[in-house]
Amino acid sequence: MKTKIHAARNKLAFSINSQILELYWEIGRDIAEKQKKSGFSNGFMDKIAEELKHEFPEIRGFSRRNIYAVVQWYKFYSAKYQFVPHLAAQIPWGHNRLIASKAKDIETAEFYVAETARNAWDIDTLEIQIETGLH
């Protein structure tokens, strides 16, 4: 029974993480498209963050800094993918954010995403692997 409970908890956590990343992908896409069409400035992201935090105070992740990171993450991967990369959906947002900010290109990012998923690295281990140039 314990094994089944652990498996169910892991499945639930994976599902929630995947849903959050899909939401972030859509937010990043929407903002990037509006910026491209209308030339919105960084003040635009401040306003979005403020409105989202006001509308959804119980949800973390809508700070200006995180909204900016969401857009950067989307732009980074959207050069190759139309949707959230499958492996990226298997690791937490903090890991994704770190990889997208540190990787020189998508192939390097894909390597670190795959290794993180395969080895269940925590974020500190991932950062060490990136800083020491494992790839």
Which pair of structure tokens corresponds to residue 33?
């498209």
Helix (H) or strand (E) holding 37: helix 2-38
| Tens-digit pLDDT profile for residues 52-102 | 999 999 988 899 999 999 999 999 999 999 999 999 999 999 999 999 999
**Count: domains in the chain:** 1
> Distance between CA atoms of 19 and 47, rounded to whole angstroms?
24
> What is the reported pLDDT for 42?
65
How many other CB atoms are there within 10 angstroms of residue 83's CB atom? 12
- Domain span at 77: 2-131
**Could you read off the pLDDT of 108-123 as tens digits, one per residue?**
999 999 999 999 999 9
- pTM greater than 0.85: yes
- 3-state helix, strand, coil split of the chain in percent (to 5) is 75, 0, 25
Instruction: Please list the alpha-helical segments (H only) found in 39-92.
Output: 42-55, 64-78
Report pLDDT digits (tens) over 18-55: 999 999 999 999 999 988 887 766 678 888 999 999 99
